[in-house]
Amino acid sequence: MKEINFDRILMIPGPTMVSSTVLSTMAYPIIGHRTKDYGNILEDTVEKMKRVFRTKGDVFTITGSGTAAMDMAITNTVDKGDKVLVIANGNFGERFSKIAEVYGANIIMLENEWGDNAKPQDVKKILEENPDIKVVTIVHNETSTGVANPIKEIGEIVKEYNALYIVDTVSSLGGDYVDVDKFNIDICVTGSQKCLAAPPGISAISISEKAWEVINSTKSKSFYLDIKAYKKRYESKKETPYTPSVSLTYALSKALDRVLEEGLENRVKRHKRLAKATIAGLEAMGIELFAKEWARSITVTSAKYPEGIVDSEFRGILSNKYNISIAGGQGQVSGKIFRVGHMGEAREYHVLGTLGAIEMAFNELGYNAEGGVNAAMDVLKL
């Protein structure tokens, strides 16, 4: 393997830093996946995942990243010609439409300007006009823009109609407040490598009773992602249908222990605090935030570059000189914004260090920034 600087602070919005207790489980010996021992680990992981999702429904883990779980949600519920309402205000919202398109869905897009969030009344209007919508998709935390969508309020609306409610919580579960059953979510998908702070490569999906009714009357278009096969194997033997990543199951299990030990409410509080400090720091430096005030995520903060600052130069200084990785923009905001992830294992010192490095990088590039760290400390002192 080529020499890599492993000592960087990872402040991108996923994958996030993984604690050494979780990482070390990846070195445990591999065991057979059709053994009682593995079945016990899988069952324990699934039960913990249910507590984190806050659901009494079924939960499965998938060897594959968050997109595999998104794909599984769609392929098992959408037949050719089915009407799907895709609520999108960023890259990952749009991903649902790309997946639904593969399966020949009749897609209705409800798009909001990037940086703003979805409006429940717009969802209601479309559902009223289209009583035959089968599935509604939304991303809770739109990582590409640093926006949080009102999934609870939209869930209350979708419940009044016949449609299934599919929610992506890839960059919110374990960081922001999610309650699958209370929010009337029929299918919730998440990934390991964001707020759950496990390595990338394993994802999870929750399925409500209403979702099973739809799944049972939908033809699965995928072999690997056929959820009925997952259910059959899990219920009969506590196994997955195909060979799982045994090491990632260990790691996810340990990461979920950490999430549950800290407590879901405490984690939301920590993420809110870090978001507040990051925002205060950037605003003190005179940086304009990208997400509208009412729409801001608590796990990732997006901000506009001041005039004249070049993304690659700025992030190059942060990475090469100060050993801190943050993300740039994607799609239509590529080169225009940067994003600081403060999720998973992120703590106060990571945020303060990142803001200090951001301040120094801006000054090096000729943008006069000051007071960011002090402003963040003022928030963190409280």
Binding-site ranges for ligand PLP (CB under 6 A): 14, 65-67, 92, 139, 141, 143, 168, 170-171, 191
Angle at 89 between CA 86 and CA 90, to 5 degrees: 105
Q: Which is nearer to ligand PLP, 19 or 67 (CB)?
A: 67
Sort strands 58-63 and 202-207 into parallel, antiparallel or unpaired. Answer: antiparallel
Q: How far is the CB of 34 from ligand PLP (least distance, A)?
A: 27
Q: How far is the CB of 149 from ligand PLP (least distance, A)?
A: 10
Q: Which is nearer to ligand PLP, 130 or 330 (CB)?
A: 330
Q: Which residues pair with 203 in a beta bridge?
A: 62, 191
Q: How far is the CB of 14 from ligand PLP (least distance, A)?
A: 5
Residue 159's Cα: distance from chain center in Å?
Answer: 23
Q: Which is nearer to ligand PLP, 65 or 278 (CB)?
A: 65
Q: Which is nearer to ligand PLP, 48 or 339 (CB)?
A: 339
Q: Which is nearer to ligand PLP, 297 or 359 (CB)?
A: 297
**Which residue in the shown chain puts its C-beta closest to ligand PLP?**
66
Cα–Cα dist 306/298, whole Å: 23
Q: How far is the CB of 191 from ligand PLP (least distance, A)?
A: 4
Q: How far is the CB of 364 from ligand PLP (least distance, A)?
A: 29
Q: How far is the CB of 31 from ligand PLP (least distance, A)?
A: 25
Cα–Cα dist 111/26, whole Å: 41
Q: How far is the CB of 195 from ligand PLP (least distance, A)?
A: 10
Q: Which residues contact residue 313 at a Cβ distance below 8 angstroms, ignoring those fewer than 6 apart?
A: 365
Residue 209's Cα: distance from chain center in Å?
Answer: 24
Query: Which residue, among 248, 258, 358, has the nearest Cα to 309 in the 3D structure?
Result: 358
Helix (H, G, I), strand (E, B) or coil at 165: strand
Q: How far is the CB of 141 from ligand PLP (least distance, A)?
A: 6
Query: Which residue, among 155, 170, 165, has the nearest Cα to 90 in the 3D structure?
Result: 170
Residue 220's Cα: distance from chain center in Å?
Answer: 25
Cα–Cα dist 101/74, whole Å: 10
Q: Which is nearer to ligand PLP, 25 or 203 (CB)?
A: 203
Contact 200, 252 (CB under 8 A): no
Q: Which is nearer to ligand PLP, 83 or 194 (CB)?
A: 194
Contact 140, 70 (CB under 8 A): no
Q: Which is nearer to ligand PLP, 161 or 271 (CB)?
A: 271
Query: Which residue, among 171, 247, 237, has the nearest Cα to 202 in the 3D structure?
Result: 247
Query: Which residue, among 171, 264, 211, has the nearest Cα to 59 in the 3D structure?
Result: 211
